[in-house]
Structure 1
């Protein structure tokens, strides 16, 4: 598999591929991932690119590199280790589903204009990143992510289909706490069309992501078409 610079930095592309292999179970927990040389040969990249991708995974808690042994897949990751809950995307992949992301639109809003964010970002401009998740090729989740404009986004907006947490992590943001709230809401006509459904009440999730200082670093709103798949929360005992 050859990577292309047209899709963004090579190490980020490689990191995303390795991360998906870990989540899906292709690289199982407590086992070694392929060596640097094997990854270099498979993806046609330099050893430096491989090491940088693995380093990113290590910093997030996916893997641990040990001298003379290799790189081992760990039991947790930088986001899900904050609780005993398994991330929903991990669950879907482990079930054998195909989960893809599409960038829809980037807009700018005033924090004070948002009914929830006005309590956190009065007088602050926010980037609103709209994305669509597809489950096995079918529109499944519509997301709106709100991020302060001091976070530099990729010049090629198509790269926004990749992990937004990773973009923020690379710029020094360290997440400390996540809070999810759930409700039922009816999406507007535009969102309903993207989900390829009639306007109807859907499961709605609101996520608050806080940094080490307790500040709100990212906020998102999502509509789930649970007729395709129910929302599942798994807890390890």
Structure 2
């Protein structure tokens, strides 16, 4: 279990063991893991070494502590939001996950009446349409359709669609992002969407429709995203 002759530090080997136990569901989400004393006896190491391994996994988002109760397995598919807009890219980064965007559609088109209404622009205004599959740790998480008024981004290069749109808006264009309005509903996967997300037809999905706005009230985009129901969950803190 522990290779004391390895160049890999012992605390790192303990981290890998705990991660493997989580991945194999031997240690389950929101369930307490063995205590420091139990892990010390199991691996035949000092409590300091065990504490270092656990502390690193807490910082990486694999575990969380409850005072007086112990250390528990964290659900790494849950996004926690507290009165602040964060993008999906930022959410995944906070969880230590690797996000990849595969662009499967990029076009400059004219706005239909439906899209024009959702973007608060005129029908037949130029719109950049982006379709992409967003994978986390090489597993498809969401299928996204994004519509941006061309006047916002000008001659946008397709390569930017492979990265974070928030990063593009804020750091490349220097836009002042203010807020987002989002509608969330439960739907079943139709055949085409199921194929893109590698799930069975009629699998549960979360459909998130969002509008992003600048500080002056001007809308930046309209986004329609299908998230896998078995992979994406979030908790929102609301104060009265």
1:99–1:133: 8 Å Cα contact kept in structure 2? yes
1:85–1:235: 8 Å Cα contact kept in structure 2? no
The residue number in structure 1 matching 2:219 is 216
Greater shift, 106-115 or 212-221, is seen at 106-115
Higher Cα radius of gyration: 2
1:174-197: CA deviation from partner (whole Å, max 9, x where unpaired): 211211110123455333211112
Q: CA shift at 1:125, angstroms?
A: 2.1
Q: Over the residues paired in the alignment, what is the CA RMSD in angstroms?
A: 3.3
Gaps of 5+ in 2: 1-58, 61-79
1: CA distance, partners of 2:198 / 2:213: 33
1: CA distance, partners of 2:95 / 2:83: 21
1:83-140: CA deviation from partner (whole Å, max 9, x where unpaired): 3466555444444433222222113443333267356122222111111111221111
The residue number in structure 2 matching 1:167 is 168
The residue number in structure 1 matching 2:233 is 231
The residue number in structure 2 matching 1:132 is 133
1: CA distance, partners of 2:103 / 2:146: 11
Gaps of 5+ in 1: 1-24, 27-79
TM-score under structure 2 normalisation? 0.55
Q: Secondary structure at the match of 1:191?
A: helix
Q: Where does 1:91-102 land on structure 2 (aligned, <5 Å)?
A: 91-102=91-102
2: CA distance, partners of 1:167 / 1:105: 18
2: CA distance, partners of 1:168 / 1:222: 19
2: CA distance, partners of 1:177 / 1:185: 25
The residue number in structure 2 matching 1:106 is 106
2: CA distance, partners of 1:119 / 1:159: 21
